Chains A and B, each alone.
Chain A
């Protein structure tokens, strides 16, 4: 062995339980593992010991690879695949969960105006919120990027606060700010002779408010991602552009944006999915009101599924997000992989 024994012992020790069950003496399993890692020697070493077929199978590189990824496979299977398939199963049952109704739940949903309103509101909510989060994140990232040295760390820390506070908590603070009679917002507006605005009671303002809070909560994430992307653009590209005659807007358009394209796309996709599936902000701020006008898929699914005791229908509502998000993901990721070859 060229390496000191300790260097290789660590990863092997971790995978030892996989072999222990097959009653291979500990000493031998150690050498075995070494053989496995050194590909060229596997066959000859195994043949010399006249191995059983079990050992042969265990000795294969693919087997070891599978064993090592097994914990993750189990985790994904248990926490992602099973719930997903189970909700598909649920969506095919009737309200009492006794009878198989196939696509009956969906047929029922398509006939309800509230459902289509939720589809529309979810789209408006997600697209508007992501757009403003991206825009604000992009602009603020430029400001922060130009703050020198240590001060930048302070600003970065402070600007991340909305994203770090649990949204359920911060939304409660917003709820108070939006209060129609005692709130800071309406008081401030009253000083200018405006209002009072019925923030959460009026359809337009309620929709505005949930989007505002979502933007406030999510923009720091964009800020951090864009800041990292900005830092990865070499200064010399801007200098070359400056010499080539680009003004600040042309530098952003021809250098910054193309260089950040992938980050912008991935961040937007990621945020689109999370925003589309948002629950806590709407639930706490409006509970979907007034008149279900601010419901999103998740909050409405909760309402009909848990509060309305029709779990199959709730599952059907939330399942409806899958095709919409899948289409968005395909479009954006296709562009990313196409562009990824250039940078």
Chain B
């Protein structure tokens, strides 16, 4: 067990910078998830921690020691790969014990550790099978078992659930969380799935274009995104971004969305945004759950308006409604019994207490 630190880590491929100077401190026992769209450098970062990729610049420390030039086998890490990377000619037990056998552990200890890991992962019945005879979920468990028996300083997961179907993914997600609760090894987990990131992580690292956009707990990222990228990436359906501008009307601050629609800002928000220049091009960031049917919600900061729905998506526990505001597509979440139908007019309410205001050019949340 150990903490992991990245100091201004850079990865260059010829002219392309895949990772552009990352600083990250991961404390002991922590479960960190690197999340971002494909090509954002998250896998490269993980592979650099593993030692499978050279570091172009900067330092990586595991347990306080700089490991830049330490080969993977001497870093005392274990990695779970997307396609499991099990050795097809070895049985489950042989797969799991391979690392220990290479290090010449006593046979009794190898057996004890494999048995313990198999029990933890509920694969005791499978230890004599070959990987080919296992289902995807079982293979993933074996891959995790191979990591656990090594008892390494750090677990590295590289999109481990991407090859599983949706239902199994949810199940294995919980499995991984349970295992981490028992084993408590420092974990770095890479995924492109924001739901996985939110559900698993102690802290999430959102990456984009080789840089870290924001580091925070799942709740921080959801409620206080720092940038437009984070705001749009975390949460499904994604946050709405509606072009708007600030206006002074009779001493109070109001936000104008269209020629027709403008709302007075709640007092707390008005105080926060008052210093902004009125000429700036701004975006109103509002999550779909803060755009609901009008009659359900009343109170300060909740403003109603009329619109015509384009499309509705009944999801069972809620209905997603899509409409346009001056050509900007907007999504809202209403009660399934609110009577939302395709093409019908509807009165909706915005909860401005939960709004975000973004600078359209810089993408910074104000």
Residues of chain A touching chain B, judged by Cβ–Cβ distance below 8 Å, are: 234, 236-237, 239-247, 250, 254-255, 258-259, 261, 339, 341-343
Contacts and interface: CB of A to CB of B under 8 A. Distances in A.
Contacts of A254: 87, 98
Nearest to A245: B73
A255 B87 contact: yes
Nearest to A258: B89
B315 interface: no
Interface stretch (B78-86, B120-128, B168-176, B355-363): B78-86
Nearest to A236: B85
B81 A259 contact: no
A47 B106 CA distance: 75
B87 A243 contact: no
A62 B82 CA distance: 45
B71 A242 contact: yes
29 contacts: A234-B83, A236-B82, A236-B83, A239-B81, A239-B85, A240-B85, A240-B87, A242-B51, A242-B71, A242-B72, A243-B51, A243-B77, A243-B78, A243-B99, A244-B102, A244-B146, A244-B150, A245-B73, A245-B99, A245-B102, A247-B73, A255-B87, A258-B87, A259-B89, A261-B89, A341-B132, A342-B89, A342-B130, A342-B132
B269 to A, nearest CB: 50
Contacts of A259: 88-89
B81 to A, nearest CB: 5
Contacts of B77: 243
Given A342-B132, A343-B132, A237 B52 contact: no
B167 interface: no
A-B pairs, 10 with minimum CB distance? A244-B99, A236-B85, A245-B73, A258-B89, A240-B85, A242-B72, A245-B102, A243-B72, A236-B81, A243-B79
Given A236-B82, A240-B86, A254-B98, 7 more contacts: A234-B85, A242-B73, A243-B51, A244-B98, A246-B73, A259-B88, A342-B88
A320 B94 CA distance: 45
Contacts of B89: 258-259, 261, 339, 342-343
Interface in B181-197: none
Contacts of B150: 244
Q: Main SS of chain B's interface residues?
A: loop
A215 B284 CA distance: 75
A342 B89 CA distance: 6
Contacts of A240: 79, 81, 85-87, 146
B53 to A, nearest CB: 10
Contacts of A341: 132
Contact of A239 (B52, B88, B103): B52
Given A237-B87, A254-B98, A255-B87, A243 B132 contact: no
A234 B87 CA distance: 10
A62 to B, nearest CB: 34
Contacts of B130: 342
B52 A250 contact: no
Contact of B102 (A234, A236, A246, A258): A246
